[in-house]
Structure 1
Amino acid sequence: MFRRAALLCFAVIVSSTAALADQKPNTLSPDELNDGWILLFDGETTFGWKANSDANWKIDGGVISVDSGAKGLLNTTTQFGDFALKLDFRADRKTNSGVFLRTSTQPSDPAVDCYELNIAAPEVSPFFTGSFVGREEARETSPSSDWRTFHVEAVGGHFRVSLDGEEVLDYVDEKPLGRGYIGLQFNSGKVEFRNIKLKPLSLESIFNGKDLAGWKEFPGKKSKFSVTPEGEINVKNGNGQLEYQTPVADFVLQLEIISNGQFLNSGIFFRNIPGEFWQGYESQIQNGYLGSRTVPIDYGTGAFYRRQKARKVVPDDFQWFHKTLVVEGPHMATWVNGYQVTDWTDTRDPHENPRNGLRLEAGTITIQGHDPTTDLSFRDIALGHIPPREP
């Protein structure tokens, strides 16, 4: 059975605040992992982020902060379409800051090229905390210089925002921006952020847990793909390939995987040339490492094979783990158990075959059977299309 709902109930997000109050900062609970959440901030580095100005962004004690320098944004390097976002922030009373949603890298007009979720006291800005600058004012709440929590749900042109568990904004854009970056703003005054988490929304199951409807096994190969009584896809032996029959170009893929042996090798191919064998980008599955988890064997789980190694081997063999793959244009990123391990942009010349160059065209998603030792299982496979930025 598909364990993560494609759309998140807003009330559930809001009511979860108290339950997570004692959780270690910048981590995901088992329930959050099962529900599809990923960390945008790992608590230690700015991996997956890029500043667009010379502001003094720094990390200390699991907190990202800024208080001087050139006005601008610290943006994610990944664009998202539909999502739920939650984060904690703390701002001085005179601070003017914000969280930019579906933003361009250098936004110029918050009413046109982003959604600016403002952080400011009423005496600092008419668009006080919780408002969309240039679009709609929020319901006013009491200002505070303590830690506060935003919860946002963005589905198509519908945005809902809660502040400290109270809904303050319900906004609809009839011609919404379809995708964009998440940006943390430095405008004026000190601001701090932590617990920055995102859940991709509008995903649908592509495996029914009963049979391989919608999938096709590549003929004449040694791998054996089957559906277990527990509703999982299992692959043994190799080599081989199981191909999802609907091509996709820009997407979010989430699934759970278990390696039923030590240091087994497999992968998820994407933008694969439809009907061809292993002719796509490969998101690696290989949980082995040499002494340190930062020294992966054969690129490591979550790597883009032969392109970028995983910066850390997160999962262990014989245990289920979560993988999230976001592919948009030439950029692609992977999270394993909610922790981002890769962040890569394909700068090669265009080519039909991703093995040889940049492929932006839609292709298929395939599960790899690698060799005679292969024994892996897959479940809860969900796919969401990332819409174009412009309507």
Structure 2
Amino acid sequence: MKQNILFKTILILLVLTFFCSCNKQTKDTTPWVSLQNGPTLNGWNIKGGNATYKVENGCIIGTTVRNTPNTFLTSDSIYGDFILELDYKVDSTMNSGIQIRSNSFPFYRDGVVHGYQIEIDPAERAWSAGIYDEQRRGWLVPLTDNPVAQKAFKHNDWNHYRIEAIGDTIKTWINDVPAAYLIDDKTASGFIGLQVHSIKDDEKEGTEIMWKNIKIITENPLKYSKKTTLKPVITKNHLTIDEAKKGWKMLWDGETTKGWRSARQDIFPADSIWKIENGELSVITTGGLESAAGGDIITKDKFGDFELSIDFKLSPGANSGIKYYVDPELNKGPGSSIGLEYQLLDDKLHEDAKLGSHEGSRTVTSLYDLIQADPNKPIHPIGEWNTAYISSKHNHVEHWLNGVKVLEYERGSADFLKLVAESKYAKWPDFGMLEKGNILLQEHGFPVSFKNIKIHAFDNE
């Protein structure tokens, strides 16, 4: 009898030990942090429009309002690398999205919310969990070629998203189905936002979208990253979908010297002056002295009216430039090549920032030696990438930096001609007035890198 009792006791202890051991093994230690604060919206703020948000039964509920732009409930905290999961249920007539790495700056289009958006799309095209660039580049990864993910969306029911943003990689899943895979380094950090889209006059006011179970991993997210079966969409040195539709072309392929040559010779400069590495076209340092052989490079094609976009990165103390309407015949002698110039400069360390025919006209993004750019321009720190944009249409020229216009002028106007006459360019007849010219990247003896070189040439359409 005692032996039976002892046996039963041992058996019970073994069973309890087994269950305890199993519980310990299956316990989730993933460092999830909830982004919901009970019955309140503490930790969030509203940007953009006047749609309403409230908390009810553990859900954040957004409701459409007429005559207001897109509205976003945005996190107070800024996030860089993370894994985000959440559930949502959307009215079948609504379009919405989840903003990640998004921002709102006074200098950028009066504070409009911009950045990556993970689409919520109950419409027939079914692009939910695709990646859109709100108020910037448009569609980056639609679900056109992913029918499995398109079918994963559940109408009038709860859907689950997993969003990974780690380094330059963004991956999404909808209801555990891989949806989008993007490699893009446009923005490294920003807030998270829950969008209530604006509505048209014929759309019903008061429709709702609900979010719940919003949680995030910021502690070593790479450790918890999941593999995806999708092929990545790479934006570096590639056109976006909207750019291709609008007629943009790559001006540099990211790998070779095709389409470019020396400003003074028919061949590309020596490897000791320029290098191509990791999809970047870079000047090799020569101690601040221009190469005696002439290191400036120009496009083999000439352009009239155009839009040009180039990403550039400066080193400390660097001096360089992007020139347009360049005439190679004026580039045979010593010195810099001649053309209108979007100045690239480290304004803090290079003495050129204090020089010029007109005050400030040699600072970064200025029309070199002629017109000073807005001193409040949104320049990123030295060593980080910036985006230069130049538009020239019917002699109206604009310089932009990181999506913000910093100057504009009229080629051939009385004001323009006066500026030229008072500058070092006065000795060249009809300076800056070519109908067509080459695009030039300047070698000035300082390390400078370029990528994503794109052009929209109107005269070629």
Q: TM-score, normalised by structure 2?
A: 0.40
Q: TM-score, normalised by structure 1?
A: 0.47
Higher RCO (C-alpha 8 Å, min separation 6): 1
Q: Higher Cα Rg: structure 1 or 2?
A: 2
